[in-house]
Structure 1
């Protein structure tokens, strides 16, 4: 599948924290071993560079804003598998087999993101419920913060990561805005109505907000779409 490719974008993954708790072996196999297999295929085919879609989940509950120098503290099998996938990228790069870079995505959202799957982000779920006249459900007190980054910004960042010539040793780099929004603020911004509160879920971090400074310094990447504009791009269409 990668024969003749100069660059590989490895975006495939399972991404549900809750599912990973129930099926940790599956997540290790798909996320960690799958990345190692992709690296082996890409390197053997002569590709020069691989960009791995990493995750902010590797930080756990680190104090925000979170820089790449923060000690990883994965709090779920999903996060552990993502961190191991990064380790494989560094190993292949250090062995001189293929250059790699690992953007760590914070909370990605955008148009056409599905709200009816176990992988859905909170924005897609809240927007769909608002469009259907349903009450949003918040797990916990709603004061947990997330760094929401629009998919168009992520794509721009990935292109910069793909073309960067001075990073390739498996470097991790945050893809986030540096701005935190709590879930109560999000529900209000989406005109979603008064939330219903349920018990907090296991393995979910309290605060997750990026320090985007390294991405700006080494890739020239800064986000352009603020949350208000990003939410407006959704259209609040119900899922079908």
Structure 2
């Protein structure tokens, strides 16, 4: 079986490439390296079942080339980050909406068996109910959130109109190995880890009581595999929360990071935390219901947040110190 992984040089995409190569799939990676990194692909360059197409999902021709002869698409390519979308909504829309539509068209034309795509917990917007249930969303709070919701609408239309099987995975704060700690829009966990390793004071936006359903990368890989391979007709043409199903405040996250990093450098326990203003577009609390994924896909997350965090910290210490 051949899988196309868009954004395969990114954090989640490169982990998916590695996993499915280990399962003897043929894997084709499409990436323009705008946010992905070539070093994420180094381990499987030259692998007999791996191919790289350097291209852009905003170019329909590149999308058609990528899906030629493929069975499945795992669409991870996107311009992430709520703050980035507030600064540059136009590029965010071009990549996340126009690029997504290009990939759907290419997948339809190539008669792809199933199109699994990265959706987002940002789609819940101003919905205040917890836990978040797939069928109940609010109004989006950022251009990024709008683009990810539009993805779901387009996927539904392509399923109904063209018979393309689609499954969306609403990722909740994914973290783990290969996640980039650098740049203005770095995710909070790798950013905090790097600052603590340098004995620099991390800045928490707000008072630290905002909470997130932090989700370890291996749980996300599991959900992608289940979504791609399920034979349950009730399980397709819908969306799923992709999470652990528990929430952690930013203050508690900082305590855990210091605890695990102190095993390598005891001085990290004494690094002070700074508190700043809340970020525009941020959702105060995020907690997923994973009941639907458990019921229809048989999902059972293999890693708790703490188990994943301990592994992630060890990876960062070994690879980035």
Q: TM-score range by the shorter chain?
A: over 0.9
TM-score, normalised by the number of residues in structure 1: 0.95
Alpha-carbon separation, structure 1, partners of 2:153 and 2:74? 17
Cα offset, 1:231, TM superposition: 1.5
Picking from 105, 129, 143, the partner of 1:40 is 105
Q: In structure 2, what is the equivalent of residue 24 of structure 1? A: 89
Contact 1:135 1:195 in 2 (8 A): yes
Alpha-carbon separation, structure 2, partners of 1:118 and 1:222? 34
Picking from 137, 145, 155, the partner of 1:79 is 145
Aligned residues: 239
> Secondary structure in 2 aligned to 1:53?
strand
Q: In structure 2, what is the equivalent of residue 134 of structure 1? A: 200
List alignment gaps of at least 5 residues for structure 1.
none
Q: In structure 1, what is the equivalent of residue 239 of structure 2? A: 172
Q: In structure 2, what is the equivalent of residue 216 of structure 1? A: 294
Picking from 178, 202, 210, the partner of 2:280 is 202
Tell me whether 1:230 sits opposite 2:308 in the alignment: yes
Tell me whether 1:3 sits opposite 2:71 in the alignment: no
> Secondary structure in 1 aligned to 2:92?
helix
CA displacement 1:85-108 (0-9 Å, x = unmatched) = 111100000013310010100010
Higher relative CO (Cα under 8 Å, sequence separation at least 6) belongs to 1
Q: In structure 2, what is the equivalent of residue 185 of structure 1? A: 252
> Secondary structure in 2 aligned to 1:98?
coil
CA displacement 1:31-71 (0-9 Å, x = unmatched) = 01111110000110111210010000000143221010212
Contact 1:61 1:208 in 2 (8 A): no
CA displacement 1:171-227 (0-9 Å, x = unmatched) = 111001110000000001111643101111111110011011101011111211112
Picking from 95, 102, 106, the partner of 2:161 is 95
Contact 1:116 1:239 in 2 (8 A): no
CA RMSD of aligned residues (A): 1.4
Alpha-carbon separation, structure 2, partners of 1:100 and 1:91? 10
Picking from 53, 74, 91, the partner of 2:118 is 53
TM-score, normalised by the number of residues in structure 2: 0.72
